[in-house]
Amino acid sequence: MSHETLQLDHKGEVATITLNRPEKRNALSSLMIAEMMAAFDAIESSHARVAIVTGTGKAFCAGMDLDALRTLAGQSLEQNVEDSRSFANLLYRIYSFPKPIIAAVNGAAIAGGCGIATLADFTLSVPEAQFGYTEVKIGFIPAVVSVFLRRQIGEKRARDLLISGRIISAGDALQLGLVSELVPAITLAARAQEFAGILLAASPTSIARTKRLLLRYDDPALKAELEIAVRENADIRSTADFREGLSSFLEKRAPKWTGR
């Protein structure tokens, strides 16, 4: 299977998804989301027992692609709902994936990219990486990721990151529990493979059933909240502040908010 935005490789029982748009800082597009979903489907049906997700270049994933952003203001509500749901489906797929996922974060993980990086079962990060949910700074809303982040780090800490939109260091992300381990860039790939080896030593049935058990505790509420988030994600795009935030971001100027 060939992909335009990523590479999928198998080495023994370890499959690696490498986001491969370095010239775009591995930014998310509708095609990348679709190809990531297809890659996870392929891994689930393969002999691989562990998945690694990483990026090429200096960034892990810098959030939404600029070309994708430009199309948002002209979309209908139905199109925006569909677009929002596709991203929600990707994050849920990562969260609920039956095989363990290791994120090897090689650089900045921002907005949607931060969600992908931190929803993996294990997140290894280079010390230089930065993390953040910056949506509020461009009149957007971190709706989908909020469903998961509250569960990961608690309400108060989630409010801090989501409402401020601030960027944090990999060290701060480690303290918050968003990152499992800091790894020098030169050894990141090797450490991800080594970590995968630790998982391969355990029973695949036990791991799969443990992941299924953890999901079952909260799955109905999770799905209901994701639907709320999808609608909020789509609705914000009809506001004046979203249009201003989007324009100012693309034009590289300070926004002039109206609160509408």
Residue written as token pair 């909240």? 225
Instruction: Indicate which residue of 35, 135, 181, 244 is catalytic.
Output: 135
Closest CA relative to residue 200, chosen from 103, 109, 99, 132 = 99
CB-count exposure of residue 3 (10 Å: 0-12, 13-18, 19+): middle
Q: Do the beta carbons of residue 70 and residue 232 sit within 8 Å?
A: no
44 is catalytic: no
Residue written as token pair 């969600």? 115
Pairwise CA distance, residues 209 & 225, whole Å: 24
- Please report the sign of the dihedral spanned by the C-alpha atoms of residue 227, residue 71, residue 111, residue 44: positive
Q: What are phi and psi of 202, to 5 degrees?
A: -95, 165
- Give, as one character, the DSSP assignment of residue 238: G
Q: Do the beta carbons of residue 1 and residue 37 sit within 8 Å?
A: no
**Catalytically annotated residues:** 135
